[in-house]
Amino acid sequence: MTEQAPITSNFIREIILEDLKTNKYQGRVQTRFPPEPNGYLHIGHAKAICLDFGLADEFKGHTNLRFDDTNPSKEETEYVESIQQDVKWLGFQWDSLFYASDYFDQLYEWAVQLIKAGKAYVDDLSADQIREYRGTLTQPGRNSPHRDRSVEQNLDLFERMKRGEFPDGSRTLRAKIDMASPNLNLRDPVMYRILHAHHHRTGDKWCIYPMYDYAHGQSDSLEKVTHSMCTLEFEDHRPLYNWFIEQLGIFPSRQIEFDRLNLTYTLLSKRKLLQLVEERHVNGWDDPRMPTISGIRRRGYTPEAIRNFCNSIGVSKTNGSIELAMLEHFVREDLNKRAPRAMAVLRPLKVVIDNYPEHKVDELDAINNPEDASAGIRKVPFSRVLYIEQDDFRENPPKQYYRLSPGREVRLRYGYLITCTSVVKNEKDEVLEVHCSYDPATRGGNAPDGRKVKSTIHWVSAAHAVDAEVRIYETLFTKEDPNQVELGKDFTSNLNPNSLEIIREAKLEPSLATPQVGARYQFERLGYFCADPDSKPGHPVFNRTVALKDTWAKIEKKAPVDPGRGRPA
């Protein structure tokens, strides 16, 4: 791995250190990353992955990848594969790969054990009735009329549930805990439900499936996970997690909760991301506008940038929201070090150098990466007709506009000083081409007499230019919190209609004719760009990863970063 942001200490690390000191787990640290294979991983999962793998690595421990596949109707093999690819791409390798479904037999045996101990019973209440009996935060629940069935009766009914004798939803197995507990999770939680559904791994073997709360802790325990990190919404489930482990007398894994990552202008919920894909608001899970790992990979984000971001935001015990600009800051910081520079003109304006010989081609030296001397130099062809950005020319320049305009001299990057002599316009008064003269004594960009120009602009030789498509992205949502919607509308009403702009007439320097898919460049003065899989030889397609302007750096300057949180104080 390359250079990383230093790992700031956090309360989870402190807990692990304490457990090591007291020898609670014989000096072992073992974690797991437990995705449900019901969608693609997103940047929020990256935070969990960096914690699970990062903390285990730090203490020379182990990390399992475990698919939490207890919900057969929503899970698919496609997701299982993409999740493995994404974890690896982020730079992590699991020690063992497991599926919660590997444990179905063991979980069933344990359920029988709890029935025999009088700690679980078969209930005939419907889901609605269970909810009604459960009570509220201020009112205790009521016992189900079936709560006091005999052990024999429960064993018989549970066995028959498993054999498929009863229809979906007609019965459940529930833990017998306390219907008056102030913690609703302890009011006889459901352990098993009947679901005649095909499972991606166990096929039709089962028609009862364990609930998350019954499966998760026991899976941790079976794998001898020492520290089981999950997000804050499971804090109230921890007593139940511990209850099952205690009743069964099995390995005491420890659940620790931390805050979910939320990012401004971004939704991090697989269910909502699935809706965006299914309703075709985006072009698939790997659309570069998506916050999925596959989306940001296609967009050009690097695993190093994501890891540095995750390490820098740290963890806490309260949910908040991180500025998207901060993630982009880490992307720029990493790409600045590693992305080779190139010249590209997105909105071309033709420039003719009248005093440059018609068929002459000059091969100019261009620096590949000023941040990395070992990246060397390349040759860029220069000729009489060039393209520059439309934005880099103004016929009537406003104050403080120092780029090209009639009579003004500017520097062409790696090239010559040129002065605008005239413009050609159409009948609508639009500038069609700009005529200039160049000073042959300024090759490389400096005048021997030391005269200064205020501006350097990029360019591409027209005769050598490669036509390309460039896709420019804005945030997918217009609201900082896309969940904030008017009554009766859903989050899709906050979609940004300008989130994708396709530029079909971009002109690139010839070295970019056939880039490797995924290759990342800095297009000088424009931002970072990444070659898309839609590229064809000689006709590349680039995604803009991120623009050069660093709004985060500005925010940061105004409000120093709290090292624990990484957002403006």
Which residues of this protein are in contact with Mg ion, per CB under 5 A? 36
Tokens standing for residue 554? 């500005």
Instruction: Assess contact for 165 and 119: CB atoms under 8 A.
Output: no
Ramachandran quadrant class, 164 (left: phi over 0; alpha: psi -120 to 50; beta: rest): left
Instruction: Assess contact for 252 and 225: CB atoms under 8 A.
Output: no
**H/E stretch holding 547:** strand 541-547
Ramachandran quadrant class, 176 (left: phi over 0; alpha: psi -120 to 50; beta: rest): beta
Binding region for ligand ATP (CB under 6 A) out of 33-41, 194-202, 423-431, 460-468: 33-41
Q: Which does 260 bind (CB under 5 to 8 A by kind): Mg ion, ligand ATP, none?
A: ligand ATP
What is the C-alpha separation between 228 and 34, in angstroms, rounded?
9
Rounded to a whole number of angstroms, the minimum distance from the CB of residue 36 to Mg ion is 5
* Of residues 225 and 342, the one with the C-beta less far from ligand ATP: 225
Beta-carbon contacts of 236 under 8 Å, excluding residues fewer than 6 positions away, are 183, 184, 185
Q: How far is CA 300 from CA 360, 473, 517, 522, 530, in A?
A: 37, 12, 10, 11, 5
Tokens standing for residue 259? 């805050």
Beta bridge partners of 547: 527
* Of residues 494 and 543, the one with the C-beta less far from ligand ATP: 494
> How many of the chain's residues bind ligand ATP (CB under 6 A)?
15
Q: Which of 230, 276, 324, 346 binds ligand ATP (CB under 6 A)?
A: 230
- Amino acid at position 294, single letter: S
Please tell me whether residue 36 binds ligand ATP under the rule CB under 6 A. Answer: yes
Tokens standing for residue 492? 């899709």
Rounded to a whole number of angstroms, the minimum distance from the CB of residue 80 to Mg ion is 15
What sign for the dihedral angle of Cα 512, 515, 521, 525?
positive
* Of residues 213 and 389, the one with the C-beta less far from ligand ATP: 213
Q: Which does 254 bind (CB under 5 to 8 A by kind): Mg ion, ligand ATP, none?
A: none
Binding region for ligand ATP (CB under 6 A) out of 135-143, 244-252, 266-274, 445-453: 266-274
* Of residues 290 and 345, the one with the C-beta less far from ligand ATP: 290
- CA angle 163/168/169 to nearest 5° reads 120
Please tell me whether residue 34 binds ligand ATP under the rule CB under 6 A. Answer: yes
Report 57-96 residues binding ligand ATP (CB under 6 A).
Answer: 68
Q: What is the Cβ-side half-sphere exposure of residue 487, based on CA atoms within 13 angstroms?
A: 0
* Of residues 36 and 534, the one with the C-beta less far from Mg ion: 36
Please tell me whether residue 261 binds ligand ATP under the rule CB under 6 A. Answer: yes
Please tell me whether residue 313 binds ligand ATP under the rule CB under 6 A. Answer: no
Q: Which does 35 bind (CB under 5 to 8 A by kind): ligand ATP, Mg ion, none?
A: ligand ATP
Between helices 43-58 and 303-313, what is the axis angle to 10°? 80
Between helices 11-21 and 43-58, what is the axis angle to 10°? 30
* Of residues 41 and 282, the one with the C-beta less far from Mg ion: 41
Instruction: Assess contact for 505 and 523: CB atoms under 8 A.
Output: no
Q: Which does 269 bind (CB under 5 to 8 A by kind): Mg ion, ligand ATP, none?
A: ligand ATP
Instruction: Assess contact for 503 and 390: CB atoms under 8 A.
Output: no
* Of residues 270 and 413, the one with the C-beta less far from ligand ATP: 270
Rounded to a whole number of angstroms, the minimum distance from the CB of residue 230 to ligand ATP is 4
Other beta carbons less than 10 A from residue 23's beta carbon: 9
Closest CA to 363 of 349, 346, 377, 348: 377
Please tell me whether residue 48 binds ligand ATP under the rule CB under 6 A. Answer: yes
* Of residues 39 and 348, the one with the C-beta less far from Mg ion: 39
- Catalytic sites, residue numbers: 36, 260, 270
Q: Which does 268 bind (CB under 5 to 8 A by kind): Mg ion, ligand ATP, none?
A: ligand ATP
- Amino acid at position 357, single letter: P
What sign for the dihedral angle of Cα 23, 25, 29, 31?
negative
Q: Which of 149, 176, 227, 270 binds ligand ATP (CB under 6 A)?
A: 270
Tokens standing for residue 119? 């700690």
Binding region for ligand ATP (CB under 6 A) out of 74-82, 95-103, 261-269, 418-426: 261-269
Rounded to a whole number of angstroms, the minimum distance from the CB of residue 267 to ligand ATP is 9
Binding region for ligand ATP (CB under 6 A) out of 44-52, 134-142, 380-388, 502-510: 44-52
Instruction: Assess contact for 542 and 473: CB atoms under 8 A.
Output: no
Please tell me whether residue 235 binds ligand ATP under the rule CB under 6 A. Answer: no
What is the C-alpha separation between 279 and 281, in angstroms, rounded?
6
Q: Which of 224, 260, 338, 525 binds ligand ATP (CB under 6 A)?
A: 260
Locus of tokens 């898309």: 532
Please tell me whether residue 44 binds ligand ATP under the rule CB under 6 A. Answer: yes
Rounded to a whole number of angstroms, the minimum distance from the CB of residue 44 to ligand ATP is 2
Rounded to a whole number of angstroms, the minimum distance from the CB of residue 408 to ligand ATP is 51
Rounded to a whole number of angstroms, the minimum distance from the CB of residue 327 to ligand ATP is 13
Across the chain, how many H-helices and E-strands are there?
A: 13, 25
Q: Which does 34 bind (CB under 5 to 8 A by kind): ligand ATP, Mg ion, none?
A: ligand ATP
Residue nearest to Mg ion (CB): 36
Please tell me whether residue 333 binds ligand ATP under the rule CB under 6 A. Answer: no
* Of residues 293 and 506, the one with the C-beta less far from ligand ATP: 293
Q: Which of 179, 268, 548, 555 binds ligand ATP (CB under 6 A)?
A: 268
Residue nearest to ligand ATP (CB): 44
What is the C-alpha separation between 132 and 22, in angstroms, rounded?
45
Q: Which of 153, 269, 383, 551 binds ligand ATP (CB under 6 A)?
A: 269
Rounded to a whole number of angstroms, the minimum distance from the CB of residue 352 to ligand ATP is 54
Instruction: Assess contact for 294 and 86: CB atoms under 8 A.
Output: yes
**H/E stretch holding 298:** helix 293-299
* Of residues 212 and 251, the one with the C-beta less far from Mg ion: 212
Q: Which spans of this chain sit near ligand ATP (rule: CB under 6 A)? A: 34-36, 44-45, 47-48, 68, 230-231, 260-261, 268-270
